[in-house]
Amino acid sequence: MFTTSAFDRYQSGQSLIHRLDPRVKLVTTVAMILSNVFLPDGAWWGFAQTWVLILFFTWLAKISPGFVLKRSIVALPFALVAFTVMFTLPGTELTQFHLFGWTLTISVEGLMRFLSILVRAWLSVQIAILLTATTTFPDLAHGLRHLHVPLILIAVLSFMYRYLFVLSEEAERLLQARAARSAKIPGGKRTSVLWRAKIAGNMVGQLFLRSYERSDRVYHAMVARGFQGQFLTFNPHMMTVKDWAALTFVLILIALIQISNLMV
């Protein structure tokens, strides 16, 4: 079941992945991302093995593969900024073309690295999506604390997460107020871009002031309810034999992926 917020895509469930300790999921997520980084350019067999592993975990979590795949595609445009590596990495010339008086040469090694960067980014985002889809944010924060991540960093992440919702709610109220006061007259004169930019600037200023005032009220309300710098959770956060076994199993699989690619 999806949450209604655009910022939180946690899917509640009772799968094996959901029941694992958040520390296990955090460590395995970081380990799989680092495994992608350490795989050499063009290690398509290793990338395929990692993807199969992700699909296996998605199946264990009882989450639709389409949910993970569709959301992971969003990250690909950000990885496209690495396209310049095709022209800057020296190597065997693949093709050459002219652009505005410049001669651009694409090397085989450059193309291989660019495609590898895209695949690494795509797989890493899928792993992160699977983590957030099976772990609530309070559990993630507690997992980071148990892993001895600096408390100030966890506090910043926690408040950022909390106030994203505050900012979203205030923006929605402003948009509703603008829509209620902006009747469209059929055949009426269209407003200029400058006028709309001015209104948008005023809305941004109002959003900042409203968010600042509301954040103060939210802070005092949280303190009045006993907030001490961390979100509470019903998770006991006790590492069981099942958690240790799952962590060991995944780390062994990651090590086997690395070893199999060294032998290719």
- Mean pLDDT over 237-242 rounds to 89
Question: Does residue 130 sit in the same domain as residue 244?
Answer: yes
Residue 108 included in any domain = yes
Tell me, yes or no, whether 131 and 243 share the same domain: yes
Using 50, 70 and 90 to split pLDDT, how confident is the model at 7? low
**Which residues form the domain of 205?**
152-181+200-232
C-alpha distances in angstroms, 65 versus 1, 5, 53, 77, 246?
15, 21, 12, 20, 21
Q: Is the domain of 163 the same as that of 218?
A: yes
Structure tokens at 45: 């067999």
Q: Kindly state the average pLDDT of the residues 15-42.
A: 93
**Amino acid 110: pLDDT:** 86
Predicted confidence band of residue 258 (pLDDT cuts 50, 70, 90): very high
Query: If pLDDT is split at 50, 70 and 90, which confidence band does 4 have?
Result: very low
pLDDT in tens, 184-217: 656 656 667 787 788 778 888 888 887 788 778 8
Q: Based on C-alpha coordinates, what's the Rg of the chain?
A: 24
User: Given this model, what pLDDT does residue 70 score?
Assistant: 86
Q: State the pLDDT at residue 191.
A: 65
* Closest to 82 (Cα-Cα) out of 55, 127, 120, 51: 120
**Do both 225 and 242 map to the same domain?**
no
Q: How many domains, the chain?
A: 2
In this structure, is residue 1 part of a structural domain?
A: no
Give strand pairing partners of 135.
Answer: none
- Highest mean pLDDT: which range of 10-24, 68-82, 158-172, 219-233: 10-24
Asked whether residue 143 is assigned to any structural domain, the reply reads no
Neighbour count for residue 156 (Cβ, 10 Å): 11
Which residues lie closer than 8 Å to 82 by C-beta, 6 or more apart?
114, 117, 118
Domain identity same for 57 and 130: yes
The secondary element (H helix, E strand) that includes residue 169 is: helix 151-180
Residue with tokens 């148990």: 146
Instruction: Categorize the per-residue pLDDT at 2 as very low, low, confident or very high, splitting at 50, 70 and 90.
Output: very low
5: in domain: no
Please indicate, yes or no, if residue 8 is contained in any of the structural domains.
Answer: no
Residue given tokens 């309070």 in the structure block: 138
Percentage, residues of the chain above pLDDT 90:
32
State whether 31 and 76 are in the same domain: yes
127 lies in a domain?
yes
pLDDT for 182: 67
Instruction: For 44-61, write each residue's pLDDT tens digit.
Output: 999 999 999 999 999 999
Asked whether residue 31 carries a pLDDT value surpassing 70, the answer given is yes
Q: Do 213 and 85 sit in the same domain of this protein?
A: no
Domain match, 116 and 33 both: yes
Same domain, 228 and 102: no
Q: Could you say which DSSP state residue 3 is in? A: -
Could you give the CA distance from residue 108 to residue 113 in angstroms, rounded to a whole number? 9
Same domain, 126 and 222: no
Residue 210 lies in a domain: yes
Q: b vs e for 194-219, b when ≥16 Cβ sit within 10 Å of the residue's Cβ?
A: eeeeeeeeeeeeebeebbeeebeebe
Please report whether residue 164 resides in a domain.
yes
Cβ 94 vs Cβ 113: under 8 Å: no
Residues 242 and 221 in one domain: no
pLDDT at 78 over 70: yes
**3 state SS of 4:** coil
Q: Does residue 97 carry a pLDDT above 80? A: no
Tell me: the pLDDT tens digits for 105-149? 788 888 899 999 999 999 999 999 999 999 988 889 889 999 999
Do 103 and 39 belong together in one domain? yes
